[in-house]
Structure 1
Amino acid sequence: MQATRKLWTWLAVICVLSFAVLGWVGTEIYLTAPPIPKQVISTQGAVLFSEGQVQRGQEAWLSAGGQQLGSVWGHGSYVAPDWSADWLHREALALRTVWAQRDFGKPFEQLGVGQQAELNARLKSEMRRNTYDAATGTITLSPERAEAVQQVAKHYTGLFGDDASLDKLREQYAMNAGSLPDPADLQALPAFIFWSAWSAATDRPGETDLSYTSNWPHDALVDNTPTAGAGIWSIASVIFMIAAIAGMIFYHSTAKEEGDPTPPKADPLFDLKPTPSMKATRKYFYVVIGLILAQVGMGVITAHYAVEGHTFFGFPLAQILP
Structure 2
Amino acid sequence: MFKKNLVEYLLNPKNWWLPLLIIFVISMGGVTLIGVHTYTEAPPIPNFESTQKKKIYSKNDILDGQAIFLKYALMEYGSMFGDGANRGPDFTAEALHLIAAEMKNYYTTNSPNNLTDSFFKYGITEKVKYEIKKNNYQEITNSVELNKAQEFAIIKLENYYLEKFTNPMSKGAFKPAGYITDSVEIKSLTAFIFWGSWVCGVERPGENYSYTHNWPYDKEAGNTPSAAIILWSILGSLGLIIGLGLVLYYYGKLEKIEDETFTKKAPNF
TM-score when scaled to structure 1?
A: 0.72
2:56 corresponds in structure 1 to 48
Is 1:68 aligned to residue 68 of structure 2? no
How many angstroms apart in 2 are the aligned matches of 1:228 and 1:84?
A: 23
Question: Which of 168, 172, 178 is equivalent to 1:169?
Answer: 172
**Aligned-pair CA distance for 1:186:** 2.0
The one-letter code of the counterpart of 1:169 is G
Q: Is the 8 A contact 2:45 2:59 kept in 1?
A: no
1:214 corresponds in structure 2 to 213
How many angstroms apart in 1 are the aligned matches of 2:92 and 2:130?
A: 19
How many angstroms apart in 1 are the aligned matches of 2:205 and 2:66?
A: 24
The one-letter code of the counterpart of 2:124 is L
Q: Secondary structure at the match of 2:86?
A: coil
Q: Secondary structure at the match of 2:89?
A: coil
Matches within 5 A, 1:234-313: 234-255=233-254, 256-257=257-258, 259=262
1:224 corresponds in structure 2 to 223
1:317 corresponds in structure 2 to none
1:116 corresponds in structure 2 to 121
2:202 corresponds in structure 1 to 202
2:182 corresponds in structure 1 to 182
2:3 corresponds in structure 1 to none
Gaps (5+ residues) in structure 2? Answer: 1-7, 264-269
The one-letter code of the counterpart of 1:103 is S
**Aligned-pair CA distance for 1:115:** 1.2
Q: Secondary structure at the match of 1:40?
A: strand
Q: Secondary structure at the match of 1:211?
A: coil
**Gap change, CA 1:240 and 1:192, over 3 Å in 2:** same
Is 1:83 aligned to residue 91 of structure 2? yes
Q: Is the 8 A contact 2:66 2:192 kept in 1?
A: yes
Deviations 1:63-107 (A, max 9, x none): 23311121111112223211111111111110011111112365x
Q: Is the 8 A contact 2:180 2:186 kept in 1?
A: yes
How many angstroms apart in 1 are the aligned matches of 2:195 and 2:206?
A: 20
Q: Is the 8 A contact 2:65 2:188 kept in 1?
A: yes
Q: Secondary structure at the match of 2:48?
A: strand
**Aligned-pair CA distance for 1:245:** 2.4
How many angstroms apart in 1 are the aligned matches of 2:90 and 2:154?
A: 17
Q: Is the 8 A contact 1:70 1:79 kept in 2?
A: yes
Report how many aligned residue pairs link the two structures. Answer: 250
TM-score when scaled to structure 2?
A: 0.85
**Gap change, CA 1:112 and 1:77, over 3 Å in 2:** farther
Q: Secondary structure at the match of 1:52?
A: helix
User: Which deviates further from its counterpart, 88-97 or 241-250?
Assistant: 241-250
Q: Secondary structure at the match of 1:188?
A: helix
Q: Is the 8 A contact 1:71 1:82 kept in 2?
A: yes
Q: Is the 8 A contact 1:44 1:143 kept in 2?
A: no
Aligned-pair RMSD on alpha carbons? 2.2
Gaps (5+ residues) in structure 1? Answer: 261-322
**Gap change, CA 1:214 and 1:145, over 3 Å in 2:** same
**Aligned-pair CA distance for 1:259:** 4.5
Q: Secondary structure at the match of 1:175?
A: coil
Question: Which of 77, 89, 101 is equivalent to 1:93?
Answer: 101
**Aligned-pair CA distance for 1:164:** 6.0
Identity value in percent: 27
